[in-house]
Amino acid sequence: MHTDLWNHALALYTKPGVEAACLDLQALGGDVCLLLCATWLQARGVAVGDARVQALREVAQRWQQEVVTPLRTLRQQWRAAAQDDAQLATLRDQVKGLELQAEKALLERLQKRSLQWPADSAEPTDDWLTRLAPEQARHHDALGRLRVAAAALQDAEEGA
């Protein structure tokens, strides 16, 4: 298993169907970084609880609102114009790189906040995704696809 959240997220995101599931969940108001963190916490066997869920949401909310979302919005606003403007396309790629760096920083913040929680807990650990997904995504197929991919990644890593 990947010991850090960033490498876990990278490994999971490359699995078939995960990128599409994450984009679907994002469109439903989900925070992809929080959801990737949920799969990491679940794989580590960290017990879920209200205080822990709230702590992660607090870490993510401000960073998403003040850093990630403005970068994403700018990148998306430039999509059409960048197709016909090479200089703008270059700038858009740079913004995309900044957006990725901001998401990595958020994952690092989430990891730092959660590392104090013991792994391999005997308490229930199976509902991190449900607890960190927005209400409208909790029964969506995309959340199920992400859950299946995360379980397959965990099985593959444990079997390696």
Per-residue pLDDT tens, the chain, 160 aa: give them: 557 999 999 999 999 999 999 999 999 999 999 999 999 999 999 999 999 999 999 999 999 999 999 999 999 999 999 999 999 999 999 999 999 999 999 999 999 999 999 988 777 666 899 999 999 999 999 999 999 999 999 888 877 5
Q: Which residues contact 27 (CB under 8 A, 6 or more apart)?
A: none
Q: What is the DSSP string of 95-146?
A: HHHHHHHHHHHHHHHHHHHHTTSPSS-SS--TTHHHHHS-GGGTTSHHHHHH
The SS3 of residue 16 is: coil
Instruction: Determine the pLDDT at residue 1.
Output: 54
